[in-house]
Amino acid sequence: MCVTIEKLSVENIEELIEIARDSWKWTYACIYSFEFINHWIDENYSRERLLNEITRAQSDRDIIFLGSFVKSKLVGFIELKTEADRAELLRLYLKPEYTHRGIGKLLLLEAEVIMKKKGIVQCRLLVHQKNNIGKSFYEKNGFEVKDIDADHIVMEKKLQSIKNI
């Protein structure tokens, strides 16, 4: 399977929303109600919000927003917010049928290359305590548990900047 990782464009918004909805239903069905999931997607994946974040990422500002494509079809995405030498991983989702194929790892590795070039030395994320798939994935990819925040686990990964190399 040939996977490419590219910056997302406005043409990807509908596919992004579909992936988010499918992934949330698959990942969080035993954690949240169907109504909560739909409300969350509607609020956090509005076209206007995604357009703003894609535009910021394309202008190489404080957002890294990448998609994974198989045969030019979007199958997953990662989004990070950067500030100074730190980043927060906001989203990493795949269509359920594309999980466990190394695509999430490819997205994360490409994002790490970009972060290192920007001088980012630490990446942080929150993962729901009951999201065993997510916790396992992040631990396998070098993230360590740093704290518990209500229903979420705070995880961090140290990166070595290559900004001035």
Q: Is 28 a catalytic residue?
A: no
Q: Which of 28, 45, 98, 138 is catalytic?
A: 138
Distance from C-alpha of 84 to C-alpha of 76, rounded to nearest angstrom: 26
Helices (H), 29-121: 34-44, 47-58, 103-117
Burial of 115 (0-12, 13-18, 19+ CB in 10 A): buried
Distance from C-alpha of 142 to C-alpha of 134, rounded to nearest angstrom: 13
Distance from C-alpha of 112 to C-alpha of 145, rounded to nearest angstrom: 18
Q: Which pairing describes strands 86-94 and 122-128: parallel, antiparallel, or unpaired?
A: parallel
Would you give the end-to-end CA distance of the chain in angstroms?
33
Sign of the CA dihedral with 66 first, then 68, 73, and 79 last? negative
Annotated catalytic residues are 138
